[in-house]
A and B are shown apart, each in its own frame.
Chain A
C-alpha cells in the first residue's frame, strides 16, 4: 500500500492509495459516513419563541448545525448514566435573543456554549425574526453516529474513485480535437502532434471522449487497484482526524471479531 496526498484544503482532502482492495477503501468510506461519532444538538427546551418558525422546526434546524469540541464527551451507549444524559455525555448550549429590527437573522454564532461543545461555523442562519420577537432556549448536544441520523454525519461528501486509465491510439487519432472540446472536465489537450491527458485524476469516467471520437482512437477504463479517497468535512472534525478515526473504528471492529472467535467453544 502506498499513500499520496493529491490535494488538501481546510475542508477537503484528496488521498491517492495505491495497491489496495476497492472493498477496503469502501469500508473506510462507509465508516467515515456512518460510524465516526461527532456531537450534534439532540434535545431542545424552548422557554420562549414568538417568531414565526414553530418550535419543532427550530429544534430541527439547531440539530443540523455542525458542532466542534466533542472529544471530551462519551457516547450515551457507553456512559454510566444509562442513556439518561449527564455532564459526561451531554453538553449544553443556550440561545437568548430579541430582535431589535425587522428581518434580523439569528446566526449560529449566537449560540452560547456552556460546556465543551460549540458551533463549527458562526454564520449558519437559524431563524429570521421581526422587531420585538424573542427566542430563548436551552439545547443539549450529545455524540452520535451517522447511521442514526444524518446530523451526526461528519462529512458532506465522501467518495472513493478508481484510477482512470485513458489509452490513446496515436495511429488512429487524426487530431481533430473533438474530444478536447467535448470533455466536460477539460483534461485532454493537443501537445505537438499528440493527444495528451493533462490531469488524469480529474477524469470522471463519463466516456464522452469515446463517444465523440469518429475513429475510436480513445478508450477510457479504470484500474480498481488504485483508488482516490475524497473527504469533505462539515467542520466537526478535520479531514485528517476523520480518516484516522475511521481506521480506529475499523480496527476495533476487527479486534471485536477476533475476540469473539477466541471465545467460541472448540468444535468437538
Chain B
C-alpha cells in the first residue's frame, strides 16, 4: 500500500460558494486507478464528492477528468503514474479537476450536453446512404472500413474537447471529437455527401480551419483516435480533391505555402500573408482581401523594418536556396505531385516495424495496399478510384 494525497476541485454551482480545493489522504496500491481513489474518498470520507463513472475499464468514457492539468480517464490512470506527471509533481499529490471547455455541473462532473454532444450533432453524425440502396447489405472494400476504424474507436469521453486550445479562445470551434466523427463519414465509401460535408466544415469560420495544430487532442485521447490528424485529412480531401476554396483562407494558405516552398525552398513570409488572403500568385497581394490585410499589418511591418528585424529588400524578395538545390526540390514536387493518387501512411493502422522481431521484414506493415504495394490515401469519392477499389479489381 502507498499513501497519496488526492487534491480535488470542489464546486457546487447551486451553493452560491466559489470553487475550492480539498485534500484527502488515501491509502491504495500504486497500480490502482485514480478513479478507485476517488471512489474510496466518496465511500469512506465524503459521500458528497461528485464523479460520473460506470464501467471502470476505459470503455464507457464516463470518467473523463483533468489529472495534474491533463485530460484523461480516471479509471485508465494509475496512481503512481499520476503522482509523478506534471511540472510540479512531487510523487505523492494528485490534482484532479473537472474537464475544461465545458460548464461544471458539480465537482468533477461537467455538462457534456452543453458542449460535446452539441458539436457531435453539428457534423451530421450518421450515414447518408448512396442511392440506390442495395437490396441486401452494402459491399464495402475492407481497406476503406479499416481506414475509418481509428475514428470509430472514439468512446465520446470528451478528453480532447477538454484540452482543445482553439476552443479555449473560440468556444464555437467545432472541435476535435466532432471533427473526428466527421471524418468517420467523410472516409466511408457508402456515404453520399462527402463534398457537402467538407464544404460545410471548410466554410464554417469555426470549422476545420480553426484548428491551431497544437496536438493537445492527440495527447489527451485515451483511444488513439488522434483527432488532429483526422482534421488534417479532412483539410487534405477538401482542398486537394474537391478544390473547396473557403472563406477562411484555409485552402489558399495551404496552397500558397506549398507553392512558395517549391519556388523558393524556404518560406517567404512576406508573400505568404497576402497570398493567403488574395490567392496563390504574385498578384494575390492586389486582391481587395489581401489589400485590407496588408493595410492592417502595415504597422507591424513598419515596426519590424524600423527595428532592423528585416531589411525591406528581404521582406519584398524573400530568400532562396541555391538554384541547383531548388531544382532538386522541384524535381521532388514534380514526382510526388504528378502521381494520380496520394500515398498516405497511417501508423495507427500499419503499426511500427520492430527490427528485432523475427519475421518483421517479411511482413510489410501496410494495410491499404495500392498499385505498387504502398499504403494509399483515402481519396475523394466517386471522382477517383480508391486504392481499395483498385486492389479489388486487381
A, B from the same assembly: no
